Amino acid sequence: MAVKKFPVEYTHIMMFARSVGDENPIYHDEEYAKNTEVGGIIAPPTFTQASAQFDPDFFLRPKAGKPWLGSVKNPTGTPPKPKTEGEKKEGGGGGLHAEQHFEYHRPLRPGDVLSVTVKPGKKWEKEGKRSGKLKFSETISEYRDQKGELVVTARGVGVVTERVVEQK
């Protein structure tokens, strides 16, 4: 997922903060923010996750006129091909987010224009108690500002489970 241009904007920060239930005025009130140590509105610590909005090909965003994974008249708009015997045994499962790590070099502010470079990291496997074989893979995303300076480094770990996670 390469994102060439991720403009950090006031309204997006305000709405993102609301979506994580955070009413801290540092995320929406310019008057308040002016008189704080950071001196202006900043973005919450997990805000870079919203770079998906600026990835033209992000696969988990419905596109006009294209079939979509989610329900329509039927439970899914993209029915899977009939499963092979092996796949039937494996059952459901799918991709989940296992870990997320951030390193912050400075806070993000409205007006910043970020670019993101993504590189693959390690891959490993583990036997899970509740979801069968787990396949992990790491992605490292570097967020740079308009001056080319590194502002946030993000390391995500995704996991593909063999079957749906059993509930305790």
Binding site for other proteins (CB under 8 A): 12, 15-16, 18-22, 24, 26, 36-38, 42, 44-46, 49-55, 58, 60-62, 68-71, 75-76, 91-92, 94, 96-104, 107, 155, 164-165, 167-168
Q: Which is nearer to other proteins, 16 or 143 (CB)?
A: 16
Cβ–Cβ under 8 Å, residues 118 and 139: yes
Q: Closer to other proteins at the Cβ: 60 or 146? A: 60
Main-chain phi, psi angles of 152, to 5 degrees = -140, 135
Q: How far is CA 83 from CA 56, 100, 161, 163, 166, in A?
A: 31, 32, 17, 14, 21
Q: Return the bridge partners of 30, or none.
A: none
Smallest gap from residue 1 Cβ to other proteins (A): 11
What is the closest distance, in whole angstroms, from the C-beta atom of residue 145 to other proteins in the complex? Answer: 15
Nearer to other proteins, 44 or 141 (CB): 44
For the chain, where are the alpha helices, taking DSSP H only?
A: 10-19, 30-34, 85-90
By the 8 A CB rule, do 115 and 5 touch?
Answer: yes
Q: Which is nearer to other proteins, 55 or 133 (CB)?
A: 55
Nearer to other proteins, 55 or 142 (CB): 55
H/E stretch holding 131 reads none
Which residue type is seen at 78?
Answer: T
